[in-house]
């Protein structure tokens, strides 16, 4: 009986080994299939991971949101102060107060976010801009891009989309802002202060460098205004940046 039992055990062991070899041989193909499905899913959700989408479309839209809130608000406030019209100062202060939400919504619009995602970015932009401090614009850009893509991924995947999409977008975006915005803002502020310090130290040389860099950036399909705002350039460096424009 023992001799008759050996062949099945040997056969079973051999078959198991062959199956393991087959599965190991198919693992690269299965991995490729998984990545293909992921790419197809992201394509259906219009999540395009490209430098043009983020560095040109989203950054340019962020500059428009910045102009439509902080910059126009500053112009209105300044006009009110110069002419002694308190009403203009009040109007401009309201525009300045929504800088973060305006930039976040503009970024979401550029990324073709669905309506629920777009509206949810208001809270995300406010959180990122507040937590980012002086470097708030750069923090808003990073956080809003990630939150918008997260919202697009979950959008219209459940029957309770009106709850799930805002929940994921707002919660995910604010959590990312809490984790990253202070560091991003500090880094942007430190970079801007270093540039301004160097410009004050060597006005002619650094002024020339800053103006040339901004002028070159202006010829590229990215927003020089958004970059300068993110770095918070003022004083001589800010003047050199304006000269470069």
Q: Tell me: pLDDT of 17 over 80.
A: no
Is 102 part of a structural domain of the chain? Answer: yes
Is 181 part of a structural domain of the chain? Answer: yes
Q: DSSP letters along 96-127, please?
A: HHTHHHHHHHHHHHHTT--HHHHHHHHHHHHH
Type and span of the H or E element at 174: helix 161-201
Is 104 part of a structural domain of the chain? Answer: yes
Report pTM: 0.74
Please give the mean pLDDT across all residues of the chain: 80
pLDDT-based confidence at 193, cuts 50/70/90? Answer: confident
Question: Are the CB atoms for 150 and 108 separated by under 8 Å?
Answer: no
- Distance, CA of 245 to CA of 243 (rounded, Å): 5
The pLDDT tens digits of the residues spanning 51-83 come to 889 988 998 899 899 889 988 998 999 999 999
Structural domain including 151 reads 51-244
- Distance, CA of 225 to CA of 26 (rounded, Å): 51
The pLDDT tens digits of the residues spanning 109-135 come to 999 999 999 999 999 999 999 998 877
- Tell me what the mean pLDDT of segment 88-104 comes to: 94
Is 22 part of a structural domain of the chain? Answer: no
Contacts of 220 (CB under 8 A, 6+ apart): none
For the chain, what is the domain count?
Answer: 1
Is 71 part of a structural domain of the chain? Answer: yes
Is 177 part of a structural domain of the chain? Answer: yes
Residue 240: predicted pLDDT: 60
Is 66 part of a structural domain of the chain? Answer: yes
Is 224 part of a structural domain of the chain? Answer: yes
Among 46-50, 96-100, 137-141, 238-242, which stretch is predicted with the lowest mean pLDDT? Answer: 238-242
pLDDT-based confidence at 189, cuts 50/70/90? Answer: confident
């Amino acid at each position: 009986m023992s001799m008759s039992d050996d062949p099945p055990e040997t056969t079973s062991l051999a078959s198991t080994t062959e199956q393991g070899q087959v599965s190991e041989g198919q693992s690269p193909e299965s991995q490729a299939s998984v990545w293909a499905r992921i790419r197809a899913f992201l394509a259906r959700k219009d999540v395009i991971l490209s430098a043009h989408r983020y560095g040109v479309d989203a950054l340019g839209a962020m500059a428009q949101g910045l102009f439509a809130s902080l910059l126009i608000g500053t112009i209105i406030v300044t006009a009110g102060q110069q002419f002694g019209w308190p009403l203009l100062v009040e109007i401009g202060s309201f525009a300045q107060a929504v800088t973060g939400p305006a930039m976040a919504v503009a970024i979401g619009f550029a990324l073709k976010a669905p309506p629920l995602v777009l509206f949810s970015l208001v809270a995300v932009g406010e959180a990122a801009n507040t937590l980012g401090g002086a470097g708030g614009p750069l923090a808003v850009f990073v956080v809003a891009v990630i939150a918008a893509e997260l919202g697009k991924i979950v959008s219209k995947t459940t029957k309770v989309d009106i709850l799930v999409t805002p929940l994921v977008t707002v919660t995910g975006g604010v959590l990312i802002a809490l984790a990253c915005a202070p560091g991003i803002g500090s880094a942007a502020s430190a970079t801007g202060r270093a540039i301004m310090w160097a410009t004050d130290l060597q006005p002619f040389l650094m002024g020339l460098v800053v103006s040339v860099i901004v002028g070159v950036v202006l010829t590229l399909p990215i927003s020089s205004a958004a970059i300068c705002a993110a770095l918070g350039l003022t004083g001589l460096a800010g003047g050199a940046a304006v000269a470069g424009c």
